[in-house]
Amino acid sequence: MFKNLFKKDSPPDLSYLESYINKDKYFVRTAPWDWLTHNEIYVAGKIDGNPSMITMDFWPQELFLDADGQKTIKQLMPIIFKQLTNSKMKIPANTCEYIIGELERLVNELHIVEFRIEKVNLDPKLALPMSKQL
């Protein structure tokens, strides 16, 4: 009965991350953004060539805001695992696959994040919300 009470969670599975071709690349946002509400942002972008106001679910938004050009995808994962652990959440088995899939979507579908081989300083126009630049 008490055996499961003190059982430690197993470490997250990193096999998907380790086999990911872009794991050592830095990721940087490439589009301006601003706050839509006190906890939701929008990104000024284009979808199918048309100007758009892009909103996102929680994790894609977190990834966009983390896209500062200063950390690799491999360096990002422990940060995410710590956030989940600090929130007393169990780390899902497919966390790496899910996060990488969302990053790929930001890069390849929405075109609001890019992968870079080297660290890059974020363009000042992209570092702050648009409303703070007025």
pLDDT given for residue 84 in this prediction:
84
Instruction: Give the type of residue at 64.
Output: F
pTM reported for the whole predicted model: 0.86
What's the average pLDDT block by block, 10 residues per block, for the chain (134 residues)?
Answer: 48 82 97 96 90 94 97 93 83 87 96 97 94 86
Task: Work out how many domains the chain is built from and give that number.
Answer: 1
List CB contacts of 93: < 8 A, sequence separation 6 or more. 13
3-state SS track over 35-64: ECCCCCEEEEEEECCEEEEECCCHHHHHHH
Residue 110 covered by a domain: yes
pLDDT given for residue 9 in this prediction:
58
Q: Which residue range(s) make up the domain with 84?
A: 15-118
**Which CATH number does the domain housing residue 37 bear?**
3.90.930
- Helical segments of the chain, H only: 15-19, 58-66, 73-86, 95-108, 124-127
